[in-house]
Amino acid sequence: MVKEPVGEVYLSAEVIQTRVKELGQNIATDYRGQKLMLVGILRASFVFMADLVRHIDIPLSVGFMAVSSYEGEGGASGAVRILKDLDEPVTGKHILIVEDIIDTGLTLGYLIRHLDARNPQSIKICTLLDRSIRRIVPLPVTYKGFDIPDIYVVGYGMDYQQLYRNLPSLHLCSVRL
């Protein structure tokens, strides 16, 4: 019998939604009157991004990117491959990258360099979870939902073997990813 990887609730749906609303309101205030484009990093950010945009009461556009990170012996190598790029130009727009969780920063650092080459007005980061203890590449995180220790969670878009993304809360994951 396989042990269920979903453990106790780490962050409840209510706590998450309260913080997402606050982030959305802060983003709306900061970007009012500007050309804002949210760029979600697939797959895990889609739940967070869907909730976030409902709390940003200004006109904005959305786009999605999908990336693959390669790990070599001893951990992340930093090699990144773009699987799905944006469908519209970012030149002159304020880009807000929306992530579910930031760990080492290697993938996000690559994406920032990739997008910056397209001449946006600005690039900032919004993440639900920041696991800064694992950071290798320093990143300026402008909007952060929660700091998280070196633990693994599932739910609210985050998965274990492509399952449990649909849970409304974040749960501890008993399996180390």
Give catalytic residues, as residue numbers.
Answer: 103
End-to-end CA distance of the chain: give it in Å, rounded.
20
Amino acid identity, position 47: V
Question: Which secondary-structure segment (H or E) carries 12?
Answer: none
Q: Are 41 and 97 in contact (CB under 8 A)?
A: yes
Tokens 């290798």 map to which residue?
A: 136
**Half-sphere exposure of residue 106, counting CA atoms within 13 Å on the CB side?**
14
Nearest to 45 by CA among 116, 107, 120, 87: 107
String of DSSP letters for 84-141: E--SS--TTSEEEEEEEEESSSHHHHHHHHHHHTT--SEEEEEEEEE-GGG-SS---E
